[in-house]
Structure 1
Amino acid sequence: MSPRTKEQNDAIRELRMSQIMQAAAEVYMEKGIQLEVRDVAVKAELGYGTVYHYYKNKHMLLEDLLWDALNRTESAVMPVLMGDSGSLLKAESFSRLLLWKSIQDPSIFILLKTVVDNFHHFPGNRFSKLFADFQERIYSPFVEMIREEMGSTAPEKTANLIFGTLVGCTTLNIHHNMQSEIDVDRIVDMIFSGIQSKER
């Protein structure tokens, strides 16, 4: 049997990383910060040594999970950031996409919840760069949309309210095993109609 090529090794590494990330998100949803690398290995159906080869501890694993989630969050809202929001306000389209993606993708939900919690469960300043990037790539553009479109006198406060509401709705849906799919349009309509009536 001939040795694997570099391309084959890269493909295997990519597959393993994908398995580990998906398993880490699922375990985090079950156990929160109490997750261990061993739990992730079991969920991914990989040997502990295989996962440990990539991640020496859970904080390294969570850091990669959150960076990957940040990149996917940015990709998800990119159409709105690039100006394609259809007939809706950009801020409203942005919120719909964010809620929809956080329901579909546990790692995006984990990122948003972690940011809303101000990285409360994470040690030291390990995630300060991630937080700064989130602010620059996701939060600040959203605040600017609110300022421009809604004439809000306190756009940061409005953005915080929206982020908190989106995370709260997703949390209820996930942790209470709601049978019916969350009504993204209705939730976002309620948020924005409430904000607009207050701003008048």
Structure 2
Amino acid sequence: MSPRTKEQNDAIREMRMNQIMQAAAEVYLEKGIQLEIRDVAVKAELGYGTVYHYYKNKHMLLEDLLWDALNRTESAVLPAMTGDGGSSLKAESFSRLLLQKCIQDPSVFILLKTVADNFHQFPGNRFIKLFADFQERIYLPFVEMIREGIDSKSPEKTANLIFGSLVGCTALNIHHNMQNEMDVEGIVEMIFSGIQSKGR
């Protein structure tokens, strides 16, 4: 049997890391910051040593999980940020896409909840850069959509209210096993029904 090529090793590494991060997200939803590498290994059906080979501690793993979630979040909402239509419609589309992604991808929900909680469960200042990137890539573009398209005295407060609503709805569904029942369209419509678009 011939040795694996660099490309094959890279593919295996990427597959393992995705497997580990998916398991970490599931464990985090169950245990929060109390999760341990051993819990992740069990959930991923991998040996403890295999997971430890990639991540020496849970904080390194969670940091990678959140950075990866930021990239996934940005990809999910990109159509709303780059699409046609007025800012009000873009804000609704952004919210719909974000809520859908939260349901499909627990790591995105964990990112949004962690940002909303101001990273209070994580030690030190290791998430300052992540928070700054979240602000620049996700939060501030959304605030700008609201500023341009919605009649709001404080676009930031309106954005916070919408983000909080999306996190809360996702949490209810995750923790009550109702993912299949979640009416994304109805929830976003309800949130935006009380928000007055400019130019109406």
Q: Corresponding residue for 1:70?
A: 70
Q: Corresponding residue for 1:187?
A: 187
Q: Output aligned runs, 1:50-65, within 5 Å.
A: 50-65=50-65
Closer, same or farther in 2 for the Cα pair 1:85/1:112, shift >3 Å?
farther
**Structure 1 counterpart of 2:49, one-letter code:** G
Q: Corresponding residue for 1:30?
A: 30
The two structures have a TM-score, normalised by structure 2, of 0.94
Q: Corresponding residue for 1:148?
A: 148
Q: Corresponding residue for 1:79?
A: 79
SS at match of 1:2: coil
Q: Corresponding residue for 2:19?
A: 19
Distance 2:165 2:179 in 1: 20
Closer, same or farther in 2 for the Cα pair 1:54/1:85, shift >3 Å?
farther
SS at match of 2:83: coil
Q: Corresponding residue for 1:117?
A: 117
Count residues in correspondence. 198
Deviation for aligned residue 1:2: 1.8
Over aligned residues, Cα RMSD in angstroms? 1.8
Unpaired stretches in structure 1, ≥5 consecutive residues? none
Distance 1:52 1:147 in 2: 46
Q: Corresponding residue for 1:167?
A: 167
Closer, same or farther in 2 for the Cα pair 1:168/1:38, shift >3 Å?
same
Unpaired stretches in structure 2, ≥5 consecutive residues? none
**Among the aligned pairs, what percent are the same residue?**
85
Distance 2:25 2:123 in 1: 19
| Residues 142-193 of structure 1: CA deviation (Å, up to 9, x unaligned) | 0000000013220000000000000000000111223751111111111111
Q: Is the 8 A contact 1:79 1:85 kept in 2?
A: no
| Residues 83-130 of structure 1: CA deviation (Å, up to 9, x unaligned) | 245997110110000011101110101101111111111111111100
| Residues 2-24 of structure 1: CA deviation (Å, up to 9, x unaligned) | 21111111111111111101111
Distance 1:105 1:89 in 2: 24
Distance 1:32 1:22 in 2: 14
Q: Is the 8 A contact 1:96 1:185 kept in 2?
A: yes
Closer, same or farther in 2 for the Cα pair 1:85/1:173, shift >3 Å?
farther
Deviation for aligned residue 1:47: 0.8
